[in-house]
A and B are shown apart, each in its own frame.
Chain A
């Protein structure tokens, strides 16, 4: 069989592939554990593990002392804690978007990256989930007083509070993503079960696969459920970040109470999420030689989406400025100068950095070469990841520092513990990702096979047309 290049200069699967070659490339990454015993796997997870310990120390100290170890104060009662929360949640969104929305849009190319990005979603939401709990003054009661269960106190949560909406949104989001992810894994577990030679591996994967045997009737129900789950996840992913943005949009704080927040936050989330996928996909792809399955075409399209969402975010920033001006109240004008006056206001650098990272740098993706060069992909993704963090910093602490009554405006400065908490979660995230790569198929095996099948069909029809034309010529 010749390869697919002649059909499409930039096909989704490169090389001369059969179903078994797919298995060898994806499934055996997990089956053959020896493949991981090299620096490229141990170095990152080693560093990540150190950072996880930093996280543990920070959390321990936090519970022992109280959140006074952070820089938060009055009026800036929310700072790094909520910034990180929103940032992580945002990163999570790309996963669901890729796996659900692109599925509904019948975007075949998603098949090679959805598993990976779903994993990213789950781990990102885990990181995010730490903050709403740990940022409270009394986590030991917060973790159950926020859930509605009949208790001896006779009191219920207060459902008018956006924070309650958060609790429901985030926990639903996590549950559904997890289920979605596991459902997708079941057939692959079966594959692993059948390929693995090691007895224990066999047992474990057999257990996880629930005895899946690929029956057509099962596939029938399976696909119904899978598709509908995707259908549900789509509004879900949109709702989650909208609700997160309600935390701010619902309040009276100047700089928060803006109606554009929900769409603007969702776009920002996807923006950051795709950047993170690109960032993580590049090394993994190299490490495990997946170039044939995750191709430049994938990066090209992810870059395009990044660019598009980036423009939406830029539109959001413009609207913020417009509202500030159009509101016509002094306080809103104050806020604008507070954010933008580079020469007089202490934190204005954050605003301009954010403009640079989120609006200017991503414009490179207009250029095809940049969309397909490792250097530019990594550069832009990094700048977007940083920029989106800064965006939350500009929105949350910087708005709080600027209060209605000038007398209550005070400065906020982060402490070492603010940073260690943040770095720690990054470590946790990387550690989980690397464990995932080692023990689970990082790419959806059966969907790639499905894709391959479809490409066979496509190719055959194409050949037949060709034959038809030539034979017609001979007559």
Chain B
């Protein structure tokens, strides 16, 4: 069965502009399940693919919030509640002195959550991906730009997709085996 045999059909382009155009065309052609592979980020590409994901900033905000709270709590709990002592006649909760560490904790937590959420949501680390099966894909990290219309697309049929992609003046069009 086709869906079983293919992960998708990939077209290779020479320049970002060709890729951009191709993405626009294939969306207009009604394809929704596609992904592009580029050596560097190309702005507007995901918009063309109608793909948005705003969760990373959210997680980073929450991480920062937790960091701030835990930083302040750590200092207050340890120095004012758990083991209080008179240090130079200063008040036990010397909140002005708490500021630097609270701040640093905010940054640290926020940064780490940001990075981790990014990596996890990208499904990394991922040693294997079907795209690696096409030999020329090695250049996706160098100087070629790929568009892959995936088999899980409702309108997917190998022949149609192949012919469609041929029309976008690609360098090559290859089936991506599973």
**Residues of chain A having any CB pair with chain B under 8 Å:** 18-20, 23, 148, 154-160, 164-165, 168-169, 172, 175-176, 179-180, 183, 187, 190-191, 193-195, 206, 210-225, 228-229, 232-233, 235-236, 239, 243, 246, 446-447, 449-450, 453
Contact = CB atoms under 8 A, between A and B. Distances in A.
Nearest to A460: B17
Nearest to B23: A216
B119 interface: yes
Interface residues of B, number: 63
Interface of B: 16, 35-42, 45-46, 49, 51-54, 56-57, 60, 74-75, 78-79, 82-83, 87-88, 90, 94, 97-98, 100-101, 103-105, 107-108, 110-112, 114-115, 117-119, 121-122, 124-129, 131-132, 137-143
A409 to B, nearest CB: 24
Contacts of B143: 18-20, 23, 449
B107 A221 contact: no
Given A225-B56, A449-B39, A194 B90 contact: no
B97 to A, nearest CB: 4
Contacts of B129: 211, 213
A323 B78 CA distance: 37
Contact of A211 (B38, B87, B128, B138): B128
A225 B100 CA distance: 24
A114 to B, nearest CB: 14
B141 A194 contact: yes
Contact of B101 (A164, A187, A215): A164
A170 B90 CA distance: 26
Contacts of B141: 187, 190-191, 193-194, 212-214
7 tightest Cβ-Cβ pairs between the two chains A and B: A19-B143, A156-B78, A210-B125, A225-B118, A194-B138, A216-B36, A219-B41
A191 B139 CA distance: 8
B51 A229 contact: no
Contact of B51 (A165, A212, A217): A217
Nearest to A226: B118
A251 B46 CA distance: 54
Nearest to A210: B125
A228 B56 CA distance: 9
B39 A19 contact: yes
In terms of DSSP, what is the predominant structure of the interface of chain B? helix
Contact of A222 (B42, B51, B100, B118): B118
Given A219-B40, A220-B52, A228-B56, 9 more contacts: A155-B83, A164-B101, A210-B119, A210-B124, A213-B137, A214-B39, A215-B35, A228-B57, A446-B41
Which of A155, A183, A211 counts the most B-chain CB atoms under 10 A from its CB? Answer: A211
B40 A187 contact: yes
16 contacts: A19-B39, A158-B79, A172-B107, A191-B39, A194-B138, A194-B142, A211-B125, A213-B129, A213-B137, A215-B36, A215-B122, A217-B35, A217-B51, A220-B53, A228-B57, A446-B41
A466 to B, nearest CB: 19
Contacts of B51: 216-217, 220
Contacts of B36: 215-216
Q: Among the interface residues B75, B107, B117, B131, which one has the most CB atoms of the partner chain A within 10 A?
A: B107
A156 B35 contact: no
B53 A217 contact: yes
Contact of A446 (B39, B56, B82, B126): B39
A154 B82 CA distance: 9
A261 to B, nearest CB: 14
Contacts of B122: 215, 217-218, 221-222
Contact of A176 (B40, B46, B111): B111
Nearest to B37: A214
A148 B79 CA distance: 11
A168 B100 CA distance: 9
B40 A239 contact: no
A246 B100 contact: yes
B45 to A, nearest CB: 5
Contact of A236 (B42, B74, B79, B107): B107
Contacts of B100: 165, 168-169, 239, 243, 246
Contacts of B83: 154-156
